[in-house]
Amino acid sequence: MPGMMKAAVLTKPHRFEIEDRPVPEPAPDEVLIRVGRVGICGTDLHIFNGHYAAENLPLVPGHEFTGSIAAMGNDVNGLALGQKVVVDMNIGCRRCYWCRRNEVLNCPDMQQLGITMDGAFTEYVAVPAYLVIVAPSDMDDAVLALTEPLACVVRAARKAQITFGQSVVVLGAGPIGNLHVQLLRTIGAVPIIVTDIAEERTEMALRVGADVAVSDPNELHQTVMRHTDGRGADVVIESVGKSELYAHAQRLIRKGGHIAAFGLTGPDELLELDVLTTILQENSVKGSVAGMGQDMHDALALLRHGRIETDPFTRSAFPLTDIQAAFETIADAPGELKRQIVL
C-alpha cells in the first residue's frame, strides 16, 4: 500500500488542485477502496460552480464511483481484499426514526460522500463497510460507475409506483431523463413520451426506448393527449428542475394521475397547485431523492444483466490530472450524457 495518493481537491469554486495526501487509514468498521472510475454528476457541477455545498470547500467531490477493496478495518467481515464494489454514498446515523425507515436522506446527521465529506475524485477513499455492495469481478468499471445515478431513477419509479402498461411523460431528457426512459422501458411502461428543448437529447432518448419525443413545448400537450386517447398520462416525471413545469405537468396527467417530483429546483421555489382539481380527481404529487439501499442493489442488477444502454454514458473519460478541463468544458458537449474520471 503506498503512503501517499493523488486527490482532486476543489479548493474554491471553479478551482481543482491535485494534491498529494496520505492514503486514509480505514477505521475498524471501514473499508479502504482503490477507486477505479467516478462519474461527474450534475450535483458535482453545481458544487464546482459554487451553487451547492460551498460551505464544505475545500472538498474532494465525487460520489458515482466504483473500485476495489484495498484494505479493511479489524471489525469488517463478509468482504474480501480485491473485491470490486460500488458504494451507497448516503451515510445515516443508523439509529434515528428516518434511518430505521430507510429514509436516510431525512436523517438529521446524514453525511454524503463527496458532498458533506471527501469523496472519490482521488485514488483511495475509506467508507463504512455496511454501505459497500460487492459487484461481479467481470463488470466494466465504466458501467459500474453508473450504479448510483441509476439508483436515483429506480427510487423515483418505486416511489411513483410505476407498473407495466402505464403511460409516462418524462420532462427533460438529460442524462437522468435518459435513464428514466430506459428504466421505464424495462418496466414496460407504455407509451413513454419524452420532452426536451434540446432536440439532440430527445433523439438520444428515442434511441434508448422512448416511444414519442417532443422538442417543441407548444406541441407537448396535444401530443400527450393524442397518445393517451385524450385522457392524459398516468404519470409525469419532472426531470428538469424548473418549478414552472409543474403547471404543465398538472395538465398532462389523467384524472387520478401522479406527478413525480424529481428535478432539483432552487430552495425557495413554490408549486402552484390546483387544489380542488387535485382533490376531485384524486391526483397526487410525490418527491424522491437519491438512491440508497435496495435502489443500489436493483440498479446494479439492471446494469449487470444488460438492461441499460450504457454506451452514451461511458464514452468520455478523463484522467484525474485533467479534472479541471473535464469540468470546464462539460457545457460545450451537449451530445455527451456523462463524463467519467479514470483513476
Give me the residues that bind ligand NAD (CB under 6 A), please. 42, 152, 171-177, 195-198, 201, 217, 239-242, 245, 262-264, 288-290
Q: At what angle do helices 147-159 and 175-187 cross, to 10 degrees?
A: 60
Report the alpha-carbon angle 265-271-274, nearest 5.
155
Task: Tell the smallest beta-carbon distance from residue 46 to ligand NAD (Å).
Answer: 8
Q: Which is nearer to ligand NAD, 27 or 198 (CB)?
A: 198
Site string for Zn ion, 90-109 (x = CB under 5 A): --xx--x--x-------x--
Q: Quick check: helix, strand or coil at residue 236?
A: strand
**Among 275, 262, 273, 270, which residue's Cα sits nearest to residue 235?**
262
Task: Tell the smallest beta-carbon distance from residue 160 to ligand NAD (Å).
Answer: 12
Cα–Cα distances (Å) from 178 to 36, 73, 115, 146, in that order, read: 24, 39, 24, 12
Q: Which is nearer to ligand NAD, 264 or 342 (CB)?
A: 264
Q: Which is nearer to Zn ion, 67 or 92 (CB)?
A: 92
Report the alpha-carbon angle 137-8-179, nearest 5.
50
99 binds, among Zn ion, ligand NAD, none (CB under 5 to 8 A by kind): Zn ion
What distance in Å separates the CA atoms of residue 156 and residue 149, rounded to the nearest whole number? Answer: 11
Report the alpha-carbon angle 273-277-278, nearest 5.
60
Q: Which is nearer to ligand NAD, 67 or 241 (CB)?
A: 241
Task: Tell the smallest beta-carbon distance from residue 56 to ligand NAD (Å).
Answer: 17
Q: Which is nearer to Zn ion, 115 or 192 (CB)?
A: 115
177 binds, among ligand NAD, Zn ion, none (CB under 5 to 8 A by kind): ligand NAD
Q: Which is nearer to Zn ion, 102 or 161 (CB)?
A: 102
- Per CB under 5 A, 47 contacts Zn ion: no
| Phi, psi values for residue 84, rounded to 5° | -80, 135
Q: Quick check: helix, strand or coil at residue 18?
A: strand
Task: Tell the smallest beta-carbon distance from residue 82 to ligand NAD (Å).
Answer: 31
Q: Which is nearer to Zn ion, 4 or 93 (CB)?
A: 93
290 binds, among ligand NAD, Zn ion, none (CB under 5 to 8 A by kind): ligand NAD
Task: Tell the smallest beta-carbon distance from residue 218 to ligand NAD (Å).
Answer: 11
Task: Tell the smallest beta-carbon distance from residue 185 to Zn ion (Å).
Answer: 22
Task: Tell the smallest beta-carbon distance from residue 257 to Zn ion (Å).
Answer: 28
Report the alpha-carbon angle 137-142-147, nearest 5.
80
| Phi, psi values for residue 173, rounded to 5° | -120, 40
Q: What is the DSSP letter of 337?
A: S
57 binds, among ligand NAD, Zn ion, none (CB under 5 to 8 A by kind): none
Direct distance between the N- and C-terminal alpha carbons of the chain, in angstroms, rounded to an integer: 16
> Which residues would be at the binding site for Zn ion (CB under 5 A)?
41, 43, 92-93, 96, 99, 107
